[in-house]
Amino acid sequence: MQNDIKQVLYTEEQILKRVSELAADIKNDYEGESILMVGILRGAVMFYADLVREMDMQLHMNFMAVSSYGASSQSSGVVRIQYDLDEDITGKNVIIIEDIVDSGLTLAYLTKTLKSRNPKSLKTCCLFDKKERRRVDFKADYVGFDVPDVFIVGYGLDYAENYRNLRYIGELKPEVYE
């Protein structure tokens, strides 16, 4: 598996340090409030698990699974909810936790959908942001790292469902996906 990685972009230590900073920012912003942390499966699992364990405060955990579908690896812009929240979010402070924002289509759709359910507040937190690839105007409230437009895997992110279990973020060798 490691042989498919061209270079390590973020080590486990760098990631955990940034995750801890994000946890502190969120905790500071929601003092005295409770939060529902909504993780988006599957890519966000590692980030989600590390983030909530850094947050010394009351919070609830729940998950959704979504997929964008279309003919190619390029997102079609249509997002399908594969697994929805099994709770009412009316009046709750909700934060959507994502691993990466790319075109922005997934989070634009999710925020619109969850807003229509009348939460008390709704914010988004993503570990990686590929701003160069935006197709819709979307800005996350909490961002871990701005990343260049290279194929990154690890720490939850996959290529063809592999590499999610790497502890670090690596750039995939082009010959692996070309």
CB of 28 to ligand PRP, least distance (A): 26
Cβ atoms of 123 and 142 within 8 Å: the answer is yes
Residue from 14, 20, 68, 113 binding ligand PRP (CB under 6 A): 68
Pairing of strands 142-146, 152-153: unpaired
Site for ligand PRP in 76-115 (CB under 6 A): 98-106
Contacts with ligand PRP by CB under 6 A: the residue count is 16
> Which residue carries 């590499």 as its tokens?
163
Of 127, 147, 148, 151, residue with least CA distance to 16: 127
Report the residue number, 67 or 121, with the smaller CB distance to ligand PRP: 67
Helices vs strands, H then E, count in the chain: 4, 9
CA 148 to each of CA 31, 56, 115: distance values in angstroms, whole numbers, following the listed order: 33, 32, 30
Which residues 6+ apart lie within 8 Å of 106 measured at CB?
A: 40, 66, 68, 75, 79, 98
User: Which string of x and - marks every residue 21-40 that binds ligand PRP (by CB under 6 A)?
Assistant: -------------------x
Told to check if 67 binds ligand PRP by CB under 6 A, we report: yes
Whether 99 is catalytic is: no
Residue 75 vs 111, nearer CB to ligand PRP: 75
From 4, 102, 129, 149, the catalytic residue = 102
Site for ligand PRP in 129-158 (CB under 6 A): 158
Query: For binding to ligand PRP (CB under 6 A), which residues are involved?
Result: 40, 42-43, 67-68, 75, 98-106, 158
- State the catalytic residues: 102
